[in-house]
Structure 1
């Protein structure tokens, strides 16, 4: 009854040209491109052909994309491994590629990042009860995607240094 204004109808050749341009300007994964092709009402078989062509011509490389994604989300968004992996799984990146990219994060950088986040969060909290303080810091670390054990270890260190 109503037409979706965002739905574009384009030919397969045009779609290939457009996604090549998109991929040449910014790293994309297969699922990002598939969504775009679906929005353009490209048939499933043609979507597969376009994506295969992009992979063959090195416009799309899941390993390269995952490496950039992990570095950017860790460095700029201060996300932990759990949150990064979750978002990559949502994009249907293979688990082996995700694990390889996550292993590129240096453990010292990872711990320093968490420590810095927790220190900054502690400054903003107005809590006297140590139990409440610990739980708020823990929930914050979890929301950023850091592992429970690592989070608790640094929270305990941080809180014991305040005593």
Structure 2
């Protein structure tokens, strides 16, 4: 494979970032995969930020919206996933502000209602324990789950 020039890498990176919101750390890995040297990678990344192809806050907001709406993840799992991508706490918190509280509670309620139908438990305590374990695995906090279990909303 021939080595790409900085201009070719910029064009390729711009096209890559234009299709979907990209995380800066993912973009750096992609550039390394394309054979860019550390100096060229830094120059291309600087260009992408300057021209607004990359924006960490915008990425966080889009990521949070997608994960809680489509994957039905809780705040904890979303924040952990963003931390793994190397984003700062401020950026993560800005993204988590995108969560619509009513929609978030509705998602948790639907998840618990669906899961409760498939749980086989000999007591309410065992059922509640299984529901908590399930929801915590999805990234919801124990407090959020307990709020629904205690109120027995449609459970």
CA distance in 1, matches of 2:122, 2:139: 26
- Within a 5 Å distance, the mapping from 1:1-163 to structure 2 comes to 9-158=3-152
Per-residue CA distance 1:79-133 (angstroms, 9 max, x = gap): 1111111111111122112112212212222212111110010011122232221
Cα pair distance change 1:56/1:123, threshold 3 Å: same
Structure 2 residue runs of 5 or longer lacking an equivalent are: none
Instruction: Give the secondary-structure state (helix, strand or coil) at the position aligned to 1:63.
Output: helix
Instruction: Give the secondary-structure state (helix, strand or coil) at the position aligned to 2:125.
Output: helix
- TM-score by length of structure 2 reads 0.91
Aligned length: 155
The answer to whether the 8 A contact 1:82-1:146 is kept is yes
Instruction: Give the secondary-structure state (helix, strand or coil) at the position aligned to 2:151.
Output: helix
CA distance in 2, matches of 1:8, 1:63: 35
- TM-score by length of structure 1 reads 0.87
Q: CA RMSD, aligned part only? A: 1.9
| Residue in structure 2 matched with residue 3 of structure 1 by the alignment | none
